[in-house]
Amino acid sequence: MATRLRRRSPRAGRDGIRRIPAGRRGGALPGLLLALLLLAPGPPPAVAAACGDAGRLRVLTFNLQFTRAFRPERQVEPLAAHLVSRPADLVLLQEVAGGLVTGAGSVAHLLAERISALGGPRYEVVHAPASGVEGFFTVGNAVLSRCPVLARRTIPLPEIAELRFAGGRWRLARNLLRLDVRFAGGVLHVLDTHLCADCTVEERRRQLAVVLSAAGTAGSDGAPVVLGGDFNIDRVRDGGAERPLHEAILAAGFADSAGTGTHGWCERPAHPDAFCTVGVADPWRPESRRIDYIFVRGLAVLAHEVLFNPRIDPDTIALSNHAAVQAVLTLPPGPPRREGESAGPSGGRISLRSGGAGRRGRHRRRGPRPQGRARTSRGCG
């Protein structure tokens, strides 16, 4: 029998967007992960003025594997060092633990503080706990932003009974974190999410429908959109049963930062390649898969990398059971934009119907590629 803990809705304005007062301490969002500790976010540090230097935007997404929060320094230190040497403008994080186990508001806050202490850029932290017990231990999404944050909104996803505990299945709360940030004299919409893991394709489809609806609403003003995170969508698994979910994202006007005509794409899980993003550090998991993505709309992709994958590069270390995905983006060629003017195609709703960090450790794709619906390569399984 599934047990469900009810969540309180965060305060929001009439437009549904949660505004961020200066110096506000991030709140904990109760949910449902059975866990153990207390959430007490601290105020965000000042944000560096530089964001998207020369019109380019570096975005990184990374599932932190929340169980590593019990020894956060082993993960935070090398990740902070990387972000000091190669700063990202936006860092999208999933499985972000908060509470006494971290000694701070969350692992995201620890990471931002450590980056600043090492002389790196100063980030604003937006934390959206989803599951857990408020005042004890939470897990959710977070974004570190060098870009000025104009507004934020947390959107709950349909809850799925995917958490196995004490002989039962518990509904696990997940969310979509949306930020509006200032970039290149206009607005950029940023969406960070983590779809269900132990669930059916249809259940994951239901969550994706909420994400794409929110992405369509966010992009209705014509501003560019970045959508990233752990989608748990594998184009190869179960004979391609999940491939329609990936194609639904492309049909909504997004482009996959890895491209769609590239040979590989982690087609052979038993023989991982530089596109694989999960199973990179689990000795008990013999296969690697590609389930972490950065999708863009209204932006061009200049480069794509997968980082921290020791199965490809034995000289690097795993910071999670996931690898990180990084993309360098830019506005596509066009007429100059005026202050406050946005660019890119508008988004829309899509109906989903049922259907079938070492040198050698990262994949890099160079050269601009305009956004738009990407064609599926015949070589993708």
Asked if residues 159 and 206 have their Cβ atoms less than 8 Å apart, the reply is no
Domain positions in the chain = 53-94+150-369
pLDDT tens for the chain, 381 residues: list them.
443 343 444 444 444 444 434 444 444 333 333 333 333 334 444 454 458 777 899 999 999 998 887 777 889 999 999 999 999 999 999 999 988 777 778 999 999 999 999 999 999 999 999 988 776 789 999 999 999 999 999 999 999 989 887 778 888 899 999 999 999 878 999 999 999 999 999 999 999 999 999 999 998 999 999 999 999 999 888 888 999 999 999 999 999 999 865 556 788 888 888 888 998 776 566 688 999 999 999 999 999 999 998 888 888 888 999 999 999 999 877 544 443 443 333 333 333 433 334 333 344 444 444 443 333 333 323
pTM: 0.76
Q: Which residues have a Cβ under 8 Å from the Cβ of 34 and sit 6 or more positions away?
A: 132, 133, 163, 165, 170
Instruction: Give the model's pLDDT for residue 94.
Output: 98
Instruction: Give the model's pLDDT for residue 28.
Output: 39
Q: Which CATH number applies to 53-94+150-369?
A: 3.60.10.10
Instruction: Give the model's pLDDT for residue 179.
Output: 97
- DSSP alpha helices (H): ranges in 89-140? 107-117
Instruction: Give the model's pLDDT for residue 285.
Output: 65
Report the DSSP beta bridge partners of residue 350.
none
